[in-house]
Structures are given as structure tokens and as C-alpha cells.
Amino acid sequence: MAQSIASMFRDGQDYMHEWPMQKQLYALFPECRVIAATKFGLKVMPPVAVLAAITMVNQMGTSYLPQAIAVAAFFISLPMQGLLWLGNRANQPLPPSVSAWYREIHAKMRSQGLALQAVKSRPRYKELATLLKTAFNELDRVFTKQWF
């Protein structure tokens, strides 16, 4: 199913806020590294883009304005690429091994008495993020150490 660019950005932002940034997950999923880089880029790249463009125009003159704009656009595009990747990833179905792991964690959490949404037949990464966030927020460290 094709998504618009705007909906991918929104999904990426939602997924970035939903994914639990836990040290146990860094080795298992690339999301933690992509989210950290994207958050850093969202803070740092706009000032870097402006600084690069101003410096370029100041040093080389206004005849280099198109190149300065291109350099600024490149720096601004870096965190946007992270958001697009996250938006795409959020809507991908889980591979079979991760899907089985999702079902196991869901069943264990239900047995612990947590009220969860029904298990999805074809879970996506966004459902995994919601489940993992709930696990890290609601369950004790003994339970989460068992799974991670």
C-alpha cells in the first residue's frame, strides 16, 4: 500500500516517540540508533545548514547562492531521511521470527494481568513498539531481563 510522503513523516515521528529507547534493544534493532541520529539531526542540522550557506555566500560571493542553497538543503534533508526511514519501518510487517517473539511477549504480558489490545494476526513494527514500551513501563525489571 502506497503512502504519501506527509503520512510517512507523521508515522516516523509517531514511531520515534513510541519506540522505547532501552539499552537492551540497541543490539536487537536499528531503531534506537536511527532515532538517536534523527533527534540529533533535528536539533543540529538547521543551524549547520544556515551557517554553511551564510559562510559559503560570505566567502565566495552571491554568485554561489545556488550552491549554498543546495548545501543547506542537503544538511536539512539528513534528519528528514531518518524520519522517512522510521515511517517506512513502522508500517512494515514483522518477520516471522520477530512476529513469534511478539506473540510470546504479548501472551506473557496478558498472563501478568496487563490489559492489552488483541494480538494482531500480521503485526507491524509499530505494534511491536507499543508492546515493548508497555513492557518497559509497566513490568518490573525481572520480567524485562528475562526477555531482553
pTM: 0.86
Residue 41 binned pLDDT confidence (cut-offs 50, 70, 90): very high
Count the domains in the chain: 2
Residues 82 and 110 grouped into a single domain? no
pLDDT score, position 147: 57
Task: Categorise residue 61: left if φ over 0, alpha if ψ from -120 to 50, beta otherwise.
Answer: left
Residues 7 and 73 grouped into a single domain? yes
pLDDT score, position 141: 62
Task: Return the number of other C-beta atoms located less than 10 Å from residue 101's C-beta.
Answer: 15
> How far is it, in rounded angstroms, from Cα 119 to Cα 116?
8
In a 13 Å sphere around the CA of 127, the CA atoms on its Cβ side amount to: 21
Environment class of 89 (CB within 10 Å of its CB; exposed 0-12, middle 13-18, buried 19+)? buried
What is the greatest pairwise CA distance in the chain? 68
Residues 83 and 146 grouped into a single domain? no
Environment class of 63 (CB within 10 Å of its CB; exposed 0-12, middle 13-18, buried 19+)? exposed
91, 119, 139 - which closes a domain: 91
Tell me what the pLDDT averaged over the chain comes to: 91
pLDDT digits (tens, 9 = 90+) for 86-103: 999 999 999 999 999 999
pLDDT digits (tens, 9 = 90+) for 99-142: 999 999 898 888 888 778 888 889 999 999 999 998 888 876 65
pLDDT at 74 over 90: yes
Residues 119 and 82 grouped into a single domain? no
pLDDT score, position 117: 81
Per-residue HEC secondary structure of 40-105 comes to HHHHHHHHHHHHHHHHHHHHHCHHHHHHHHHHHHHHHHHHHHHHHHHHHHHCCECCHHHHHHHHHH
Which residue range is the domain that position 76 belongs to? 1-91
